Structure 1
C-alpha cells in the first residue's frame, strides 16, 4: 500500500470517527429538545422523555465504544506506516511495542514518580542514538478515591518517561526536579542531601538531591542545567534521576507522543514534522545532557 492509499485510509477513519461523535451527541441533544418542548407535547411528553432517557445511555455507550475502536485502528495504521519509518531513519536498533509500556514495577524502581492506584503505560520504544541506548513510553498515573458521587480522581502524572543507558556506573543517586512537581517519588527511600548549586536561578526553580553532593556537581554542568531548564519551560514539569548506569527522565506532556490526532484531517507534512519533533526530544536529551560524554 503506497503513502496516498494510507493517507486516504486514515482520512476515511477520521470521517467515521466524526460520524460516531455526532451519534454520541445526538441522544443528548434530542433529550434536551424534548425537555424544552415537553409543555407543548401534552400526554405524549412523558412517553417521549422516557424513551429518550433509555436511548441516551444506550446510544452514548455504543457511540463511545465505536469511537474507541475506530481510534485504535487509526493509531495502529498511523504508527506502523509513519512513526516506525521515521524512527528507523533517526535511530538504530529500533524495537516498538505499541500495546505495552513500562510496568508499574519499572517506574517504581526509578523512584521519580509517586504511584497512585491507577497505572497505565503504552507505546514502548527502544532504540539507540550515537551509541546511547534508550527506552521511552507514555505513562499515566492516577489516584482514585471514594465511589459513586464521591469518587475523586487525581492525576499524579501524564507524560513521557525515558531511560538512558550510561556506561559510567559510579554516579550514585542524584535527583533533580522542578519545584512545582507535586507528585514526586521518594527516590527509593535512599538518604539524600539537599544540594545548592552556584546558579541561583536554577536553585529557585529546581530542587536537587544527592546521596553524595559531589555527584550532583559532576552531572549538573551549565549545559545540563540549560537543557533541564528548557525541558521545564516546554513541559511545565520535569524530573530526572542519575542512578548508577541509568538516567531516568520524566516530562509532562499534553498528549501522548507519536499518536496521531484522529479529530483532525490528516495533513502529511504536519504529521511528519510532529513525529520528528517527538524524536527530537530524545536526541536533544542525549546531546545536551552530555550522555555521550559520560560513556
Structure 2
C-alpha cells in the first residue's frame, strides 16, 4: 500500500508540473493556445483514468490487509462485504437524522455474538445544493451505524439523543406529528448530555436501567444516539472515522491502522455489553 501511495504522489506531481509547463507555453505563444489546451485535456483524461485505477487498488488493499485482518484477529465469526451497506430507506425510517438528498453506505460487517447478528456499516447523509454562489454541502450524519436485537423488547418507540448531535432533534420539525414525550431520567449527568423521547415513558425507564445509563455516559465521547422500535435497536456513532481511512498523503502504518479498526469494534462491544442483546437461549 505504501508503494501505491508513493506512485500516486509521483503521478500527481508529474501531472501538476506538466500542466504548469503547458499553461506557461500558452502565455508565451498565443498561437499554441489551442494545441496546448487539447494536450492538457488529453493529459487530464489520462490522469483521471490512472488515478481512479490506483485509488481503487489502494482502497481494495486497505480493506483486505487492514479491515479484514483486524476482523480476523478480533472475531471468530463475521461476514465482511466492502461494497454493501444499509439501505437508505432503512436508515431514513428511523428518523434519527434529517433525510438528505445524498446518501452513501459501505463496508458492511455482520458479526455473530451470543447467537445473534450484529450489523455495522459506514453511513453518510448529506444535503447538496447549488446556487449562484456555488455548491453547498450540509452534512447531517457521518459515522458508524449499528443494528442489533435488544433483549428488552418494547411496544413503543424510544430515542436516546446525544445533545452534541444537533441535526437530530426529536419533537422538533423532524418528528412533527409523532406522539413522543420527553422523558427525564434520574441521573442528572445523563440528562445534561442526552435527551430521551418515548411514545411510552414507562418503556424508557424499563430499558434505561441505572447500569445502562452509566454505560451510555461512559461512552459519551463517541456521540452515540439510539433508536429502539420493539426489539430492533439502531445505534448511530456520529463523527467516527470511516473504516477506510487512507489518502495518498497519510502516513500509513498497517499495525496502527489495524489497531484503530479494532478500537472501533471494542467500542461497539462495550455498548452491547451494557445495553444488551438477546443471548442465545433467551426470549
Q: Cα distance, 1:226 vs. partner? A: 3.5
Distance 1:71 1:278 in 2: 24
Higher helix share: 1
Counterpart for residue 223 of structure 1: 211
Equivalenced residues, count: 277
Q: Cα distance, 1:82 vs. partner? A: 3.9
Distance 1:221 1:86 in 2: 33
1:76 aligns with 2:60: yes
Q: Cα distance, 1:65 vs. partner? A: 4.5
Q: What's the secondary structure of 2:262's corresponding residue?
A: helix
1:252 aligns with 2:243: no
Change (3 A) 1:269 1:60: same
Give 2:12's match in structure 1, choosing from 18, 21, 24: 21
What does the per-residue CA deviation read over 1:185-209, in whole Å, with 9 as the maximum and x for residues that have no partner? 7469641100111222222222110
Range 49-58 or range 115-124, more displaced: 49-58
Give 2:111's match in structure 1, choosing from 127, 143, 150: 127
RMSD: 3.2
Range 161-170 or range 260-269, more displaced: 260-269
Q: Structure 2 regions of 5+ residues with no counterpart?
A: none
Q: What's the secondary structure of 1:278's corresponding residue?
A: helix
Counterpart for residue 104 of structure 1: 88
Distance 1:281 1:47 in 2: 63
Distance 2:265 2:149 in 1: 17
Q: Is the 2:144–2:240 Cα contact (8 Å) retained in structure 1?
A: no
Counterpart for residue 158 of structure 2: 174
Matches within 5 A, 1:237-276: 237-253=223-239, 255-276=241-262
Q: Cα distance, 1:271 vs. partner? A: 2.3
What does the per-residue CA deviation read over 1:42-65, in whole Å, with 9 as the maximum and x for residues that have no partner? xx3x45777666666665564355
Distance 2:215 2:14 in 1: 46
Q: Structure 1 regions of 5+ residues with no counterpart?
A: 1-9
Q: Is the 2:118–2:146 Cα contact (8 Å) retained in structure 1?
A: yes
Distance 1:188 1:56 in 2: 53
What does the per-residue CA deviation read over 1:193-234, in whole Å, with 9 as the maximum and x for residues that have no partner? 001112222222221101111111222233333333344424
TM-score, with structure 2 as normaliser = 0.82
Counterpart for residue 102 of structure 2: 118
Q: Is the 2:151–2:278 Cα contact (8 Å) retained in structure 1?
A: no
Q: Cα distance, 1:135 vs. partner? A: 0.7
Q: Is the 1:109–1:188 Cα contact (8 Å) retained in structure 2?
A: no
Matches within 5 A, 1:21-100: 21-23=12-14, 25-26=16-17, 34=24, 44=29, 46=30, 59=43, 62-100=46-84
Q: Is the 1:101–1:123 Cα contact (8 Å) retained in structure 2?
A: yes
Give 1:192's match in structure 2, choosing from 174, 180, 187: 180
Distance 1:96 1:16 in 2: 28
Counterpart for residue 195 of structure 2: 207
